[in-house]
Structure 1
């Protein structure tokens, strides 16, 4: 039996590097699970890092 992977928006265990912050050519950001492949047209801007750290990075860019 294979282990289950977290859902894309599941913050995962606290303190674990579960997410990335992605950016596209338009400067749009996306919170992305680290276990998924980065989609074409996007690149990793930050991470892998804990979910909270990635959310903080996205929020900081909004200010």
Structure 2
């Protein structure tokens, strides 16, 4: 049996700095895995930080 691999948006280990919050010129924000390069047209605005902290930051920016 092949072990399951983590996807880019899996939370990862609790307490680990696994994600970023990225934003584009239109003010849209998104969760992004810290180990991947930030895509063209987006900038990191928070993190790297644990998954839950980044989710909270994205939700706060939407609200």
Does the alignment reach a TM-score above 0.5? yes
Deviations 1:10-59 (A, max 9, x none): 10000000000000000001100000000110000100000000000011
TM-score by length of 1: 0.88
Aligned to 1:62: 62
Instruction: List structure 1 runs of 4+ shifted beyond 4 angstroms.
Output: none
**What does 1:1-63 correspond to in 2, within 5 Å?**
6-63=6-63
TM-score by length of 2: 0.88
Instruction: Write the distance in 2 (CA, Å) between the matches of 1:48 and 1:6.
Output: 18
Gaps of 5+ in 2: none
Gaps of 5+ in 1: none
CA RMSD across the alignment: 1.1
Q: Secondary structure at the match of 1:52?
A: helix
